[in-house]
Amino acid sequence: MADQQLQCRDCGQTFTFTEGEQEFYASKNLSAPQRCKDCRNARKSERMTDRQMFDATCAKCGAQCQVPFKPRPVEEGGKPVLCRECFMAERA
């Protein structure tokens, strides 16, 4: 599998879709990217700024935080909400 030259659908510039990237995309059953890295990053940051955030209280440390989903009380079948620091500590 050789590197491919693809054309970005947003800016029209040519970008390289490397052999390693092709293998990764294939392993995840993804189609080839249609945008260059700069345009992908720009779209991602647009999505992040448009995201609605909700106030919550961390179930572990009690700190006030914001999360990108509307938390439901545990009594109503919701899951405990963690602040970013506690979430990252749990992942480690």
Domain limits at 87? 54-91
Q: How many domains does the chain have?
A: 2
The predicted model gives 67-87 an average pLDDT of 89
Report the distance separating Cα 41 and Cα 53, nearest Å.
21
For 11-57, write each residue's pLDDT tens digit. 999 999 999 999 999 999 999 999 999 999 999 888 877 788 899 99
What pTM, to 2 d.p., does this model score? 0.54
Which of 44, 56, 43 has its CA nearest to residue 82? 56
pLDDT band at 68 (very low <50, low <70, confident <90, very high): confident
Q: For residue 92, what pLDDT is reported?
A: 82
Report the distance separating Cα 67 and Cα 56, nearest Å.
7
58 shares a domain with 78: yes
Which residue is associated with the tokens 């961390």? 58
86 shares a domain with 62: yes
45 shares a domain with 10: yes
Strand partners, 55: 66
Task: For residue 23, give both structure tokens.
Answer: 């293998």
Contact (Cβ atoms closer than 8 angstroms) between residue 21 and residue 39: no
